[in-house]
Amino acid sequence: MKTILLIDDDEICRKPAAEALRRAKWEVIEAVDGDQGVELAFKHRPDVILCDLLMPRSNGFHVCRAVRENPATKDTRIIVISGRDFPSDRQSAAEAGADDFLVKPVELAQLREALDKTTSMRGETKAPAATAPAPNPKPVADQSTVVKFWGVRGSIPTPGQTTVFFGGNTSCVEVRADGEIIILDAGSGIRPLGESLAAEFRGQPIEITLLITHTHWDHIQGFPFFLPAYDARNRVHILGYEGAREGLASTLAGQMESPYFPIALKQMPGNIVIEELKEMTFNVGTVRVEACFSNHPGVCVGYKLITSSGTIVYLPDNESFNENTDKAHGGALPRNLEKNIAEFIADADVLILDSQYSADEYKAHVGWGHGCVDDVVQIALNNRVKRLFLFHHDPAHDDRYVSNMLMHAREVAQKAGGSLRVEAAREGEQFVLTPRAVNAM
Ligand SMILES: [Zn+2]
Ligand SMILES: [Zn+2]
């Protein structure tokens, strides 16, 4: 006689199933919660476990894992039953070790069929899902370089009436250059960008390169909502560097694990390739890209895109250097980092730079890894930048505050003389770089 363990805290479901199985000549053991279920599984080593998912004292996923981890029960067949039918629950149950998944109410015939199927399985492994064929990407033909801001805020999305003008979405900038679609960071601004791309291409394959500066949440949190990643015709190539604790791929996948999000990164139907960069220079099509480590906690880079219409430097998270920064670090700051950043931005046509704090605010935020607007203007002036965009606006700064910071930045630039043009990045704003326009700036 075969033994089955029913683990379900809901007596109304458990009792009738137990009766029916006994009539069908099964030896039935019952458990009223996950912990008791695991205990009885180890004690009796049943042939099959029928397990509810949502239960007190250890849920069904935990039961599956515990049963699989114990050598004495690792081959026990497990059928999970749930009152809900989310694809992510099915996936998580399978990953935890379940052999089958039934949705309540379960008819007796359905249960018999599942038991027949499950008990006839002998250590089979599932065939891996077929890889979707690569799409035939359609190059986007355009001669000029177009830059559009989709998210300009730092730290956390800040919607509301007081941020309507500059915008509340976190870091995301779109660059169309030399036939490439390049996206800088995947903050919450990438969600409306994805909708815009889907509307523009209407089902034609899109090839996109997404450059990630670092995996702080405000730079990756929008990706789960990026529509083109859900279309198998599209190819999304994600590039970035290994983080301080984990690799790029595992960090990106981590924010989409089932405790946080219902769809796993690997379940997104688009052709998503994640590449952890080793070199600091590489090419996206004919666009030359250079990366530079910034003065920010963890591993964070800025990117320089050298296009046929000019050079764009994107450095969204970076603490500018001045005497306060030095004092806070006991005067021992590595000057080569400052020098590298200065060389990196030198002569840029466009510089998009972290300017989170006013000079007063910065005094209380030295060592936080974000820029002070006065220093940002100075570094742009010192390195002959043509056009500066203040970026990574503080969530506490309303439109009036950002406008005042911009006015101040322009005054500083004006007093210094020269031709530096200063703006504050604004969500939805777009500008075009052509060789002629670059020269005129
Ligand atoms: Zn940031
Ligand atoms: Zn950051």
Is there a domain that residue 136 lies in?
A: no
Is there a domain that residue 132 lies in?
A: no
Q: Which helix (H) or strand (E) holds 110?
A: helix 108-120
Q: Ligand 2 centroid to 251 CA: how many Å?
A: 14
Q: Ligand 2 centroid to 297 CA: how many Å?
A: 7
Q: Are residues 342 and 399 in the same domain?
A: yes
Q: Ligand 2 centroid to 227 CA: how many Å?
A: 24
Q: Are residues 107 and 234 in the same domain?
A: no
Q: What is the pLDDT, as a whole number, of residue 142?
A: 55
270 backbone φψ class: left, alpha, beta (φ>0; ψ -120 to 50) = beta
Q: Which helix (H) or strand (E) holds 89?
A: helix 87-96
Q: Are residues 254 and 167 in the same domain?
A: yes
Q: What is the pLDDT, as a whole number, of residue 84?
A: 72
Q: What is the pLDDT, as a whole number, of residue 87?
A: 74
Q: Ligand 1 centroid to 20 CA: how many Å?
A: 58
Q: Can you list the alpha helix ranges (DSSP code H) found in 329-434? A: 335-345, 359-363, 373-382, 399-416
Q: Ligand 1 centroid to 217 CA: how many Å?
A: 8
Q: Ligand 1 centroid to 419 CA: how many Å?
A: 29
State the ligand closest to the CA atom of 391. 1
Q: Are residues 319 and 380 in the same domain?
A: yes
Q: Ligand 2 centroid to 301 CA: how many Å?
A: 10
Q: Ligand 2 centroid to 314 CA: how many Å?
A: 13
Q: Ligand 2 centroid to 327 CA: how many Å?
A: 22
Q: Ligand 1 centroid to 171 CA: how many Å?
A: 7
Q: How far is CA 366 from CA 155, 218, 316, 420, in A?
A: 16, 20, 17, 26
Q: Ligand 2 centroid to 199 CA: how many Å?
A: 31
Distance of CA 257 to the CA centre of its chain: 11
* Residue 95 three-state SS: helix
State the ligand closest to the CA atom of 155. 1
Is there a domain that residue 134 lies in?
A: no
Exposed/middle/buried for residue 100 (C-beta within 10 Å: 0-12, 13-18, 19+): buried
CATH code (residue 205)? 3.60.15.10
CATH code (residue 34)? 3.40.50.2300
Q: Ligand 2 centroid to 296 CA: how many Å?
A: 7
Q: Ligand 2 centroid to 317 CA: how many Å?
A: 6
Beta-carbon contacts of 58 under 8 Å, excluding residues fewer than 6 positions away, are 33, 34, 35, 37, 38, 66
DSSP secondary structure code for residue 441 in this structure: -
Contact present, 271 and 307 (Cβ < 8 Å): no
Contact present, 134 and 207 (Cβ < 8 Å): no
Q: Are residues 182 and 62 in the same domain?
A: no
Q: Are residues 267 and 358 in the same domain?
A: yes
Q: Are residues 261 and 391 in the same domain?
A: yes
Q: ω before 105 within 30° of 0 (cis)?
A: yes
Q: Are residues 199 and 330 in the same domain?
A: yes
State the ligand closest to the CA atom of 221. 1
Q: Ligand 1 centroid to 218 CA: how many Å?
A: 5
Number of Cβ within a 10 Å radius of residue 440: 7
Q: Ligand 1 centroid to 206 CA: how many Å?
A: 27
Q: Given 120, 153, 182, which residue is the final one in a domain?
A: 120
Q: Round to whole Å and give the CA distance between 300 and 153.
A: 17
Contact present, 178 and 307 (Cβ < 8 Å): yes
Q: Which two tokens stand for residue 49?
A: 């476990």
Is there a domain that residue 137 lies in?
A: no
Contact present, 191 and 168 (Cβ < 8 Å): no
Q: Round to whole Å and give the CA distance between 314 and 149.
A: 12
Residue type at 232 in one-letter notation: A
Q: Ligand 2 centroid to 383 CA: how many Å?
A: 24
Place of tokens 């043009």: 421
Q: Ligand 2 centroid to 55 CA: how many Å?
A: 38
Quote the number of domains for the chain: 2
Q: Are residues 237 and 351 in the same domain?
A: yes
Number of Cβ within a 10 Å radius of residue 419: 9
Number of Cβ within a 10 Å radius of residue 432: 13
The DSSP bridge partners found for residue 209 are: 182, 237
Q: Ligand 2 centroid to 401 CA: how many Å?
A: 22
Q: Round to whole Å and give the CA distance between 89 and 320.
A: 46
Residue pLDDT tens, the chain, 441 long: 899 999 998 888 899 889 989 998 999 999 999 999 999 999 999 999 999 988 777 788 889 999 999 999 999 999 999 877 777 778 888 988 999 999 888 888 888 888 888 877 654 443 333 444 444 344 444 579 999 999 999 999 999 999 999 999 999 999 999 999 999 999 999 999 999 999 999 999 999 999 999 999 999 999 999 999 999 999 999 999 988 788 899 999 999 999 999 999 999 999 999 999 989 999 999 999 999 999 998 889 999 999 999 999 999 999 988 776 666 655 555 567 888 999 999 999 999 999 999 999 999 998 899 999 999 999 999 999 999 999 999 999 999 999 999 999 999 999 999 899 999 999 999 999 986 544 444
Q: Are residues 110 and 165 in the same domain?
A: no
Is there a domain that residue 298 lies in?
A: yes
Is there a domain that residue 57 lies in?
A: yes
State the ligand closest to the CA atom of 216. 2
Q: Round to whole Å and give the CA distance between 222 and 187.
A: 5
Q: Round to whole Å and give the CA distance between 260 and 275.
A: 23
State the DSSP string of 299-347. S-EEEEEEETTEEEEEE-S-PPP-HHHHHHTTT---HHHHHHHHHHHTT
Phi, psi of 220 (to 5 degrees): -130, -10
Q: Ligand 1 centroid to 94 CA: how many Å?
A: 36
Q: Ligand 2 centroid to 340 CA: how many Å?
A: 19
Q: Are residues 106 and 179 in the same domain?
A: no
Q: Ligand 2 centroid to 377 CA: how many Å?
A: 20
Is there a domain that residue 264 lies in?
A: yes
Contact present, 172 and 428 (Cβ < 8 Å): no
Q: Are residues 185 and 77 in the same domain?
A: no
State the DSSP string of 4-72. EEEE-S-HHHHHHHHHHHHHTT-EEEEESSHHHHHHHHHHH--SEEEEESS-SSS-HHHHHHHHHHSTT
Nearest to 68 by CA among 96, 100, 48: 96
State the ligand closest to the CA atom of 314. 1
pTM: 0.77
Q: What is the pLDDT, as a whole number, of residue 126?
A: 37
Q: What is the pLDDT, as a whole number, of residue 131?
A: 42
Is there a domain that residue 178 lies in?
A: yes
Task: Supply the range of the domain harboring residue 185.
Answer: 145-440
Residue type at 323 in one-letter notation: E
State the ligand closest to the CA atom of 393. 1
Nearest to 28 by CA among 12, 42, 16: 16
Phi, psi of 172 (to 5 degrees): -165, 125
The DSSP bridge partners found for residue 207 are: 235
Beta-carbon contacts of 280 under 8 Å, excluding residues fewer than 6 positions away, are 290, 291, 292
Q: Which two tokens stand for residue 233?
A: 């015709």
Q: Round to whole Å and give the CA distance between 70 and 60.
A: 16
Q: Which helix (H) or strand (E) holds 254?
A: helix 248-254
